[in-house]
A and B are shown apart, each in its own frame.
Chain A
Amino acid sequence: MENPTSFFDEMLRSDHGPRAPYEAYHTWFEGEDRRDLIRKSDEAERFFRRTGITFNVYGAADADERLIPFDIVPRIISGREWARLTRGIEQRVRAINAFLHDIYHRQEIIRAGRIPIELIAKNDAFLKAMIGLEPPGGVYTHIVGIDLVRVAEDQFYVLEDNARTPSGVSYMLENRETMLQMFPELFGRIKVRSVGDYPLALRRSLGASMPRHASGDGAVAVLTPGIHNSAYFEHAFLADHMGVELVEGSDLRVMDGKIAMRTTRGYKPIDVLYRRVDDDFLDPLNFNPDSLLGVPGIMDVYRAGGITIANAPGTGIADDKAIYSYMPEIVEFYTGEKPLLENVPTWRCSEPDALSYVLDHLHELVVKEVHGSGGYGMLVGPAASKKELAAFRAKLKSRPANYIAQPTLALSTVPILTKAGLAPRHVDLRPFVLVSPNGIEITPGGLTRVALKKGSLVVNSSQGGGTKDTWVLEE
């Protein structure tokens, strides 16, 4: 980081005094022996390894299970800030669900000329099988993660909407669990809102979305691609904490118009399937015929009201990066209100003017693949070499519609604990949102990802990012 004062640090003001939400924590921290804290940090790592909180990295054969580094300095959000954020998130999530319903039914938003039809028609994330289908309770995205970044005291942006199968909630819960074990005295001093009810809230939320032909048992299950999936730990964690079965495609089959799981006592029907398998793999009969992860015929059962799939298939059309740039219009169209949360200004490279601007300013922009995720295949202009810039320029010219570009944001920092003391590092925030026919519920907190490398703006765990516990203060 060349000039640390050019970034907003959430803990410390430029005169090195703590900002209001961090006051009590800062006082405590100053009174602690740093060596003790470093020792606790190492303890936290052992704790995570023992509990098996690991993620698998694709293509890394030597160490198939890695740990996401955890930093013991919490990221703290005041009650007032949180209240403001949640209003914005709720508005955005309502709009996303309304958009999904519209786009798979009358497509009013296209008729009204607010978004171009090509964006939908030519989009792989648009699932024809969902046209005209009414999901149980009208809910498309039961679980949403909204990625937020902060650039100034009062300026947050939505970086990305995760409307398919957002992951990371188990880290939110385990991070808190770890902090509670390591620093019980802190939670006595500072009133932090609890995140621990999330699994029960999720269970309740899923249970409120029964299909038309429910079995009466209200059985919920989590569908995982299996133990080799990078998020398997989370799938098992959520099933365990909800007290529901964790199933794979090979445990399931279609039986009497229901999806049933093979149990020790025969096949039992499932009413709600929280699937952590991508659309493509969900149903080899209807989508990718090579998939071994899904259930042949599940889409037919879904269509006939035999099961609730959470999130509904086809929700990817709402978190596509090309759609993202239209989110302000989408929010306004469906809620009739001005968006409370801002989008990052975005250039759609499919548009010639935007493309030429992007090509001219490549060294100062962040360029992302429209369908990419996980920080793969993106360019951070200011950090890129001449050679990388040239290579990306060529990619942009050959497939402009595959890219969007955004200014390099001055992401806020929160200090992490290093051997030399506190050091500012860039962060983002993923709050988790539950949607059911009964309403929207946002867990106070979320997953704070932190770029551990000095100066780095990439927070993805696959690219060397870590996590922090996120505190929302009672107020």
Chain B
Amino acid sequence: MLGKTAGGLFWMFRHLERAENTTRLIETGLRIALTRPDRSNDEWQSLLKTAAAEQVFFTKYETADAANVVDFLLRDAANPTSVQSSMAQARQNARMVRTALTREVWEAVNDTYMQLRSTLARPATDKNLPDTIALVRQQSALVRGALHGSMLRNDVFDFARIGTFLERADNTARILDVKYYVLLPSISQIGSNLDNVQWETILRAVAGQRAYSWLTQGAVTPKGIADFLIFDGRMPRSLKFALGKLQSNLGYLEAEYGNTLPCHAMAARLNAQLCTSSIDRVFEEGLHEFILAFLQDLAQLGRQIETDYRFIG
């Protein structure tokens, strides 16, 4: 496979994953705006931060209210991580790697792009926003289904998955990064349940609210949520799950190509760190420090993969 193609696949699936994650952030904000209107502007702002879009946003807007943030996250071309921008980049990469994709996957991506483009041609209204969000969600599932159902399990598939999980780990870590302070055991919160709005934001943003309730029988604690998002290997958006998948997909490449590269050792080391650590240790050593280091390691792993597999010349 061409190095450029591997890079195209990696980025195509990063952008797809990002579009889905951003959509989930919008959903979270909307939910909070509906149920707790007094708190919603703060939450919109922290969602912007999670989407790494705060800076660009405030060059354009003064206040982070629902209408502004939704439009910015959903369809603003000036925002490189808006759903529309992410889908456009995913599709651009898909065109570039067209020969590596099955017709089913290509059509699913192209169809998603075209439907979104016509849906997002005008600002979303309160009325059609849920439909728009449902559309992204459905189409993402379609692309994923097409990938799983029609692609050969070879290096093409591996690079697609590596992009997906790198982006996912990054996304979950950024949510933790923005919200870490509410998860810290501070004096006011000792013995009390976590501020409901805050935990709702965190769990909704990773689509883990119901799952968490099932697993914990409703006992919401900062440590419990952090443990769930970092260490629970059953949770498909946890750091542990995403890193495990990253390592195994890199491992398939290692086996298929028959050569071991620096990125393999790096992924193994990161994964081992997680597996041998625990939430108590993380809290002991500092949650924020842990997350910052994790985000750095992840970015470095991304760059190493890019170098090892010759994405660019």
Contact = CB atoms under 8 A, between A and B. Distances in A.
B6 interface: yes
A341 interface: no
Given A49-B114, A50-B107, A50-B110, A248 B4 contact: yes
A17 interface: no
Contact of A251 (B3, B155, B259): B3
A355 interface: no
Contact of A227 (B2, B95, B106, B253): B95
A246 B99 contact: yes
B102 to A, nearest CB: 10
Interface string B41-82: 000000000000000000000000000000000000000000
A239 interface: yes
Given A245-B99, A262-B310, A262-B313, A50 B2 contact: no
A72 B10 CA distance: 39
B95 A247 contact: no
A264 B155 contact: yes
Interface string A232-270: 100011011000011110110100000001111110000
B6 A264 contact: yes
B195 interface: no
Most buried by B among A240, A264, A265, A266: A264
A262 B99 contact: no
Contacts of A248: 4
A262 B313 CA distance: 7
Interface string B92-129: 10011011000100110011001000000000000000
Given A50-B111, A250-B4, A227 B92 contact: yes
Interface string A210-248: 000000000000000001000010001101100001111
B95 A232 contact: yes
Given A49-B114, A262-B310, A263-B310, A251 B4 contact: yes
Query: In terms of DSSP, what is the predominant structure of the interface of chain A?
Result: mixed
A240 B98 contact: yes
Query: In terms of DSSP, what is the predominant structure of the interface of chain B?
Result: helix
A227 B99 contact: no
B214 interface: no
Contacts of B257: 264-265
Contacts of B99: 236, 239-240, 245-246
Contacts of B253: 264
Contact of B110 (A52, A245, A246, A250): A52
A250 B4 CA distance: 9
Contacts of A27: none
A264 B2 CA distance: 6
Contact of A236 (B6, B95, B259, B313): B95
B1 interface: yes
A49 B118 CA distance: 13
A438 interface: no
A263 B106 CA distance: 22
B21 to A, nearest CB: 26
B309 interface: yes
A239 B155 CA distance: 18
Nearest to B114: A49
A221 to B, nearest CB: 9
Nearest to A237: B98
Given A250-B313, A251-B313, A261 B2 contact: yes
Given A236-B99, A262-B313, A264-B309, A51 B1 contact: no
Given A50-B111, A240-B99, A264 B106 contact: no
A222 B103 CA distance: 19
A227 B95 CA distance: 7
A253 B2 CA distance: 13
Contacts of A246: 2, 98-99
A265 B2 CA distance: 8
A239 B99 CA distance: 7
Interface string B14-50: 0000000000000000000000000000000000000
Contact of B3 (A237, A239, A263): A263
Nearest to A49: B114
Nearest to A248: B4
A239 B3 CA distance: 16
Contacts of A264: 1-3, 6, 155, 253, 257, 309-310
Interface string B134-154: 000000000000000000000
A391 B197 CA distance: 73
Contacts of B5: 245
Contacts of B155: 264
B310 to A, nearest CB: 5
Given A251-B313, A264-B310, A266-B310, A245 B95 contact: no
A227 B259 CA distance: 32
A52 B310 contact: no
Contacts of A245: 1-2, 5, 99
Contacts of B106: 51-52
Interface in A425-474: none
Contacts of A52: 95, 98, 106-107, 110
Given A50-B110, A264-B155, A264-B310, 8 more contacts: A51-B110, A52-B98, A245-B5, A247-B2, A251-B4, A262-B313, A264-B257, A265-B257
Interface of A: 49-52, 227, 232, 236-237, 239-240, 245-248, 250-251, 253, 261-266
Which 4 pairs across A and B sit closest by C-beta, in order of nearness? A236-B98, A240-B99, A264-B309, A262-B3
21 contacts: A50-B107, A52-B106, A52-B107, A236-B95, A236-B98, A236-B99, A240-B99, A245-B1, A246-B2, A246-B99, A248-B4, A250-B313, A251-B4, A253-B313, A262-B310, A262-B313, A263-B310, A264-B2, A264-B3, A264-B253, A265-B257
